[in-house]
Amino acid sequence: MASPLLGSVSSPLCYLSRPSAPSLPCFNPNRGTLHLERLQSESRELKNRVFVRRATLDESPVLDPPPRFEEPDPEVVASLKLKLLGAVSGLNRGLAANEEDLRRADSAAKELEALGGVDLTKDLDKLQGRWKLIYSSAFSSRTLGGSRPGPPTGRLLPITLGQVFQRIDILSKDFANIAEIQFGAPWPLPPLEATATLAHKFELIGSSSIKIIFEKTTVKPTGSFSQLPPFEVPRLPDALRPPSDSRSGDFEVTYLDADTRITRGDRGELRVFVIS
């Protein structure tokens, strides 16, 4: 039996005894030196990595990626198209346009043009097809040639301009301006109707401009004389051709999508087309 003076394990006297001192680790005199050498080695390695990284950045700078342009909102595009169509409607493709009409059409076209540039090196396929001319600012000059030489319209000559189209083939590089024309005739003869096709070849200039080179003009009678074969209009000799009668021209495509095209000519004329 345990002595009552010493007490049992559960006795309070047991907790008065002094705990034994913890054992100390064995001191190694080489340990501090090895630790210091390892720190110095890691520091040198870190400095070398920083130096290589800095040299790499100095020799080959990292460029920021080009900005990504967001596609315009389809609802905004549709709204601007309607605004442009409203501005040119009722102007007989520009033949009936006055100065105020010209300004309003130009302003509406610029809003569409501001949506983004045209890159025909990537989107040349969008030119393919038959396009209907719905407006030309050059027709306000009251001539069929617009800002270029052409027969006048009105009462002096009984010529009526019908629909005007552009037919573009991106594979053969064919570019044709097609105009439906009606010539008045004295009574009781019926008017002479015909379709004139001005054939060109085209080539790209830069990313959004097109150069056209004239080849020939073909006239096909229609209406009452549709049974007649087409004939080619002879070209004037170079010596008799007026200086302003240019055989080539260029224009810039300022807006283009699947069904609408806007162009600016080398003489400042604005033209609006829709796919036909």
**pLDDT tens string 212-250:** 999 999 999 999 889 999 999 987 666 656 555 567 899
DSSP letter string over 40-106?
A: HHHHHHHHHHHHHHHHHHHHSPPPPPPPPPPPPPHHHHHHHHHHHHHHHTTSGGGTT--HHHHHHHH
At residue 34, the pLDDT reads: 56
Say whether pLDDT at 5 is over 50.
no
Domains of the chain: 74-275 (2.40.128.280)
CA nearest to 147, candidates 224, 218, 69, 244: 244
Residue/partner pairs of 1-9 with CB below 8 Å, 24 or more apart: none
Buried b / exposed e across 149-188, counting CB within 10 Å, b at 16+?
eeeebeeeeeeebeebbbbbebeeeebbbbbebbeeeeee
How far is it, in rounded angstroms, from Cα 128 to Cα 60? 43
**Helix-then-strand count for the chain, H and E:** 4, 9
3-state secondary structure of 109: helix
pTM above 0.85, yes or no: no
